[in-house]
Chains A and B, each alone.
Chain A
């Protein structure tokens, strides 16, 4: 690339010079006109007029001369400079072109200014990109941490079975950051506790809320408190410092697998699907979700399951999956639950059948509680009789009396 910079015509200078010349001519004309007309009007002689006007004319002519000199300098000098530049170019063309010194300085200055402005823009863009990338990375880390807390806090599945009952849940964690909750564990030789719920809220706050909920429930239930008291205590724990207004719907129950009594509390969760009772859903009282309000009034209810009856619980993610993103999946969920409730892996099959899989955005959980009408088939239990199975079960249970999950 050649370093030679073509000299631009000094258009601005020429225009300003012409303009100055014109102005001085006009001034000269008007001055003479007023002087002559003034003198002649007062009746002065022409000689006096010449004597008084001459110095003024001389001054004006001097000014005009100066203007011409200025014009010559401003217009003529660049032309000479251009000529000398061309001469210089022709002299040095064999050595390679070079920048004319004055132009080089100006061009370098322009280039410096341009580069400086561009670099400022680039730096600010880089700073923004770094900040954004940093924020996104931090957010990704937070999301991953939230998922890890939720995953480690709540087991993905659990099954508790006895001679004539089956309690199991399956939880499919979605890709999103809103978490479902499910839990089941034995309390003593006769009772099991189960719970299922939806956490309202997202991210780390929701994951920590989930952890608090799980531990609060387990502590309360194992201490032998009534479910309604446990809910009140857990609500108070969750409400404290709940700046993000995270909440959770919850259905919690204590099932006695000897008497088949179920004590439960519903804190704003979906009513369970009733199996084998002729009704579609179990009628339950509505309670307020946990953690959102300072005071809740949980109401403990009691039912007795009859042989062949069962309950299927699901979370919002299941209904959304069944309704393909809309809350229209109640009927489909109900039909699927009825069709699959007797399956040994009912919870998992219901989830699969409704398309509530981990590739979905929402978490989804199904919990199934069944009181079998018919004794389990012989082949399912290694060919032993019902009585023998019952004996084995209690023997196993009491041998693990200290093992409360």
Chain B
């Protein structure tokens, strides 16, 4: 076990180095250097060139890379070109916002999807089941940006007109200016959380239904029913415990995505999270920020996959590495 963990950590580190090379090269070979997309069209080319030279960006990427790897190994992600701030500071600012938005939406969707999936599975082919199936098919077919646009339209525009401006949801951002109250924050979260949740509710409830059905068809469940246990006990005590395990795995493996944010939803609702940061960084060629986001997500993924595998071994004594 110890040897396995050490080996996995080693492989994980190799993978991270590989990712850093790949994305470092990718950002550098992309046409259009930094500062070329800035707001100032009259910026002197000499000035831009000097800045590029000072940052070492006029050299080919394989000559720039060792310095980056060296800094990375010392925990230094560099400074953003656009914000003129350390990338680590930017990440520290943005990560909590994304965790808040995506975390709340994950919990919200699990709270709805799991009971829905169980209900659909225990009453297979009932009206509830059919309705859930249809709804989940519609849910997975609506992309988040379509949903986002129409939620924005309905919640912030139509509702405002309909109620004469007394009751509506805010259009963008996390806070009204100078208002940092929790109620204001929650109010701003309603629309983005709904638009993020629909898709995951559809996905999770289908997954839960399939997993529950699989367990319900197993012999031990039939035995429990044959013993004369009430259906409620069989469903919720015997079957549910095993059926919910795959969902837990799924959620655990999705955790890194909470940190990486939601590019489109954050964009539509101007939520200052990681997705928006990464997208803007890609547009403005803010290399250190792009790499910082990528490396953070990659490191977390490697970590969570390792933790999941170790957790399996701890929970299930049959698994040995």
The answer on A and B forming one complex is no
**A-to-B contact residues, CB < 8 Å:** none
